[in-house]
């Protein structure tokens, strides 16, 4: 019970006492009136005294009763008041202790907005003393631009509900800083106050501003990238963000892409769903995903794109977003298709070129058989010198044409990069000696001297022997062509350069020589010192080109020293090896025994004893030439088609078969040979391939197919006789 309630009880007791006194006085008056009418004189004589005594006694008793009652109530009220005061003071002290050491600023203000209490943190932050702050309006700590924040506090007081808001406060020195205020109603000492818990959020604002700046900067960087970038939320199946490149590439507004991107970019939601599921399955094992897919522009154009996606993880290492880099590969795809078309076209052109060269080889070589064959037959069958000279000229022209054809075919194989190397150990000295002996015949025909000098003693190489000999042959042909008198010298030497061993072949001549400016061009295709209609030397200008390219294939080097009117020196350098003694047996050259018809005919006394040979040839002129060449060697039977040859071979046993490869319409000679070999009649009969094709290792291909031997058109009499008789002797 407080003092107000005690005062009210006191007033109530006084009222009751006055009311009792009035009642006693009125009762006494009526009592005296009764006595006057009914009582004895003695009683009447003392009635006033008795009445007074009686009334006084009643009043005293009432007063004492009321006093006693009031004392009890007053004591109870006093005790209650003392207890409440102690409790209030204890609560206030406890509140002050809590707020004094709080980290937040605590301001207590009354209903008028006056500050009634502050804590130490408030004094520390604002820079005021306690005296300067108490009883001051709370506007003291508000910055001018945040005075309107007071209305929020008033609103909280009126609604008696707490409120949290941000404002700008000001220190004593005028410095302003952002704060977060939590205002609520509190009851302290029977008075309603507003407690403001204030927190300095300068660091928080700074972090937020830095974060916003970083986000802005990141967005600017994001937008400045030329690559199209998407942020995809795989869980919600939507696009979270895109950069400006994406907007520019696909033509949609950013809002459209964020709202319906998964649908409009991928064509439909099903395709996007399939893409998400596929990427999910890959992200399980790795954190990136790349693929090619198609997306759709706003104008309806479908664009092939390359997509590179990387999984972004949240703080809990949980898969949250996909950052996808999308690159328009339309141009790449068009370029790829262009390259594919160009490749197909090039392959087609190469095929046509190969077919053309093969056909050209066949079409030129086939008539050359007639030209060379009948020239040789005519020269041997007459003693008329003029006819012999004419035949000799025909033979020379045909051989020149054949040489030109061979050079063209060699060059075509080089250009098509179809020269296959066949590496083997061989004796360089033996190869050079054989070649020089072969070319001495041609040198003697021009009254020239050809010598071979071996300064290396023994020399071995691990290379392609046929290509090496072709290089030397081309250089010897070149020397013979451009030398009218004097000497051609072939010198073999050894060299050591930086601990590596080489052998060199120098081919020198006393020919016309070459000027320094022309030394740079003679290795180029179709180039000669004399060119055009005024040229005075034969040839296509491909011989030295073949030399240079073949030398390069064999890891060699070719050099030229020349002087006009003095002559030229071609120097070749190739890697050399020193084989083990056990390997030297592989270098021995097989000495070929000269072919002799006498030895072949030593057991042949009559024509009926001659071997029977089946000639399969569709060209009548070639058949006539072969017939004349072989008329004393064998008895020929003929078949101009593959089916006829197969039929004849099934009916009769032959000692040998000469098989043309290109038999026109129907099966080829290769197919006919395979069928003949399958029959029991001629399964072991030697079959010699006779062909005008000379491209892409034709000989090796035919030998691998099952032919016993190979001869290329055109051929002379001795070649075909030697080839046939060799096969017959081997069989016997």
Pick the CATH number of 101-200 from 3.30.479.30, 3.90.25.10, 3.40.50.620, 3.30.450.20: 3.30.450.20
Computed from CA positions of residues 151, 153, 158, 159, in that sequence, does the dihedral angle turn out positive or negative? positive
Strand partners, 720: none
**Contact yes or no for 257/246 (Cβ under 8 A):** yes
Which CATH superfamily hosts domain 206-328? PAS domain (3.30.450.20)
Give the tokens for residue 390: 């004419």
pLDDT score recorded for residue 504: 93
**Angle at Cα 174 formed by Cα 168 and Cα 180, nearest 5°?**
20
Reply yes or no on domain 419-587 having CATH 2.30.42.10. no
Sheet hosting strand 288-296, strand order edge to edge: 238-242, 228-233, 319-328, 302-313, 288-296
Domain ranges of the chain: 3-91, 101-200, 206-328, 331-386+593-732, 419-587
User: pTM for this structure?
Assistant: 0.44
Report pLDDT digits (tens) over 216-253.
Answer: 777 787 777 778 888 888 777 788 888 888 888 888 88
| Angle, helices 47-100/3-38, rounded to nearest 10 degrees | 170
Beta strands at 709-712 and 687-691: parallel, antiparallel or unpaired? parallel
Sheet hosting strand 557-563, strand order edge to edge: 449-454, 487-497, 500-509, 567-575, 557-563
Question: What is the DSSP code (8-state) at residue 511?
Answer: S
Between 265-279, 458-472, 649-663, the lowest mean confidence (pLDDT) is in: 265-279
User: Percent of the chain scored above 70 by pLDDT?
Assistant: 71
Reply yes or no on domain 331-386+593-732 having CATH 3.40.50.2300. yes
Chain position carrying tokens 């180039």: 527
**Contact yes or no for 108/197 (Cβ under 8 A):** no
pLDDT score recorded for residue 223: 77
How far is residue 21's CA from residue 66's CA, in Å, rounded to a whole number?
A: 12
How far is residue 275's CA from residue 270's CA, in Å, rounded to a whole number?
A: 9
Give the tokens for residue 68: 């006693």
**Contact yes or no for 177/199 (Cβ under 8 A):** no
142 CB contacts (<8 Å, ≥6 apart)? Answer: 149, 150, 167, 168, 169, 170
| Angle, helices 385-415/543-553, rounded to nearest 10 degrees | 40
Report pLDDT digits (tens) over 548-606.
Answer: 888 888 899 988 888 888 888 999 999 988 776 545 544 444 444 444 555 555 555 56
Report pLDDT digits (tens) over 374-404.
Answer: 877 777 777 777 787 787 777 777 776 777 6
> What burial letters (b/e) apply to 404-432, b meaning 16+ CB within 10 Å?
ebebbbbbbbbeeeebeeeeeebbbbbbb
pLDDT score recorded for residue 194: 86
CB atoms within 10 A of CB 657: 28
H-run or E-run covering 589: none
Report pLDDT digits (tens) over 505-550.
Answer: 999 999 888 877 776 667 665 445 444 333 444 444 567 887 888 8
- Chain centroid, CA 281 distance in Å: 21
**Contact yes or no for 545/480 (Cβ under 8 A):** no
Region for 104 from its dihedrals, namely left if φ exceeds 0, alpha if ψ lies in -120 to 50, beta otherwise? beta
Q: Residue 51 — pLDDT band, cuts 50, 70, 90?
A: low
Average pLDDT (419-437) is: 86
How far is residue 590's CA from residue 426's CA, in Å, rounded to a whole number?
A: 12
How far is residue 476's CA from residue 490's CA, in Å, rounded to a whole number?
A: 9
Report pLDDT digits (tens) over 271-330.
Answer: 887 777 777 665 655 567 788 888 888 888 888 988 888 877 666 666 677 888 888 888
User: Percent of the chain scored above 90 by pLDDT?
Assistant: 11
**Contact yes or no for 690/709 (Cβ under 8 A):** no
Q: Residue 638 — pLDDT band, cuts 50, 70, 90?
A: very high
Computed from CA positions of residues 122, 127, 131, 136, in that sequence, does the dihedral angle turn out positive or negative? negative
**Contact yes or no for 669/663 (Cβ under 8 A):** yes
Whether 206-328 and 419-587 share one fold: the answer is no
Between 452-466, 535-549, 617-631, 694-708, the lowest mean confidence (pLDDT) is in: 535-549
CB atoms within 10 A of CB 36: 10
> What burial letters (b/e) apply to 453-476, b meaning 16+ CB within 10 Å?
eeebeebbbebbbebbbebbbbbb
How far is residue 627's CA from residue 634's CA, in Å, rounded to a whole number?
A: 9
């Amino acid at each position: 019970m407080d003092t107000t309630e005690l005062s009210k009880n006191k007033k109530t007791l006084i009222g009751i006492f006055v009311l009792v006194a009035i009642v006693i006085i009125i009762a006494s008056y009526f009592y005296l009136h009764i006595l006057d009418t009914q009582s004895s004189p003695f009683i009447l004589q003392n009635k006033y005294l008795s009445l007074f005594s009686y009334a006084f006694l009643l009043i005293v008793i009432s007063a004492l009763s009321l006093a006693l009652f009031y004392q009890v109530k007053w004591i109870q009220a006093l005790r209650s008041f003392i207890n409440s005061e102690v409790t209030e003071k204890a609560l206030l002290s406890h509140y002050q202790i809590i707020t004094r050491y709080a980290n937040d600023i605590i301001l207590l203000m009354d209903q008028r907005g006056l500050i009634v209490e502050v804590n130490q943190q408030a004094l520390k932050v604002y820079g005021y003393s306690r005296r300067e702050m108490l009883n001051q309006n709370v506007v003291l700590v508000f910055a001018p631009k945040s005075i309107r924040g007071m209305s929020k506090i008033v609103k909280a007081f009126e609604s008696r509900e707490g409120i949290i808001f941000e404002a700008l406060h000001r220190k004593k020195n005028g410095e302003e800083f952002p704060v977060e205020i939590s205002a609520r109603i509190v009851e302290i000492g029977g008075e309603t106050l507003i407690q403001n818990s204030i927190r300095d959020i300068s660091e928080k604002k700074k972090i937020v501003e830095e974060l916003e700046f970083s986000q802005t900067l990141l967005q600017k960087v994001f937008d400045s990238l030329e690559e199209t970038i998407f942020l995809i939320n795989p869980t919600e199946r939507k696009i979270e963000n895109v950069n400006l490149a994406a907007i520019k590439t696909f033509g949609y507004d950013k809002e459209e892409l964020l709202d319906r991107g998964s649908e409009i970019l991928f064509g439909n939601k099903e395709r996007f769903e399939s893409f998400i599921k596929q990427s999910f399955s890959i992200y399980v094992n790795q954190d990136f995903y790349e693929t090619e897919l198609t997306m759709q522009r706003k104008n309806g154009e479908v664009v092939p794109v390359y997509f590179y996606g990387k999984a972004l993880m949240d703080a809990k290492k949980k898969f949250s977003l996909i950052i996808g880099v999308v690159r328009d590969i339309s141009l790449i795809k068009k370029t790829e298709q262009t390259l594919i078309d160009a490749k197909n076209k090039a392959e087609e052109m190469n095929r046509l070129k190969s077919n053309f060269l093969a056909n050209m080889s066949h079409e030129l070589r086939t008539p050359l058989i007639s030209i060379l064959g009948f020239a040789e037959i005519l020269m041997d069958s007459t003693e008329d010198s003029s006819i012999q000279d004419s035949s000799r000229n025909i033979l020379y022209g045909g051989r020149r044409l054949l040489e030109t054809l061979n050079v063209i075919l060699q060059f075509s194989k080089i250009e098509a990069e179809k020269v296959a190397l066949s590496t083997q150990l061989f004796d360089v000295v033996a190869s050079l000696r054989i070649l020089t002996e072969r070319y001495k015949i041609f040198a003697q025909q021009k009254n020239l001297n050809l010598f071979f000098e071996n300064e290396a003693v023994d020399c071995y190489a691990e290379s392609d022997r046929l290509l090496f000999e072709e290089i030397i042959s081309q250089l010897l042909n070149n020397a013979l062509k451009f030398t009218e008198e004097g000497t051609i010298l072939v010198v073999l030497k050894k060299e050591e350069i930086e601990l590596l061993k080489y052998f060199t072949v120098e081919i020198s001549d006393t020919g016309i020589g070459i000027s320094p400016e022309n030394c740079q061009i003679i290795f180029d295709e179709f180039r000669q010192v004399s060119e055009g209609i005024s040229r005075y030397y034969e040839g296509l200008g491909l011989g030295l080109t073949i030399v240079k390219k073949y030398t390069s294939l064999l890891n060699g080097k070719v050099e030229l020293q020349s002087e006009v009117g003095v002559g030229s020196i071609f120097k070749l350098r190739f890697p050399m090896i020193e084989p083990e003694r056990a390997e030297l047996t592989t270098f021995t050259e097989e000495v070929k025994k000269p072919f002799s018809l006498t030895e072949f005919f030593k057991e042949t006394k009559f024509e009926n004893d001659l071997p029977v040979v089946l000639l399969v040839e569709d060209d009548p002129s070639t058949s006539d030439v072969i017939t004349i060449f072989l008329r004393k060697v064998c008895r020929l039977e003929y078949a101009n088609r593959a089916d006829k040859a197969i039929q004849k071979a099934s009916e009769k046993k032959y000692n040998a078969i000469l098989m043309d490869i290109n038999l026109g319409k129907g099966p080829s000679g290769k197919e006919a040979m395979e069928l003949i070999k399958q029959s029991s009649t001629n399964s072991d009969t030697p079959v010699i391939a006779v062909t005008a094709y000379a491209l892409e290792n034709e000989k090796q291909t035919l030998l691998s197919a099952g032919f016993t031997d190979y001869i290329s058109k055109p051929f002379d009499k001795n070649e075909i006789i030697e080839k046939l008789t060799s096969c017959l002797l081997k069989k016997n």
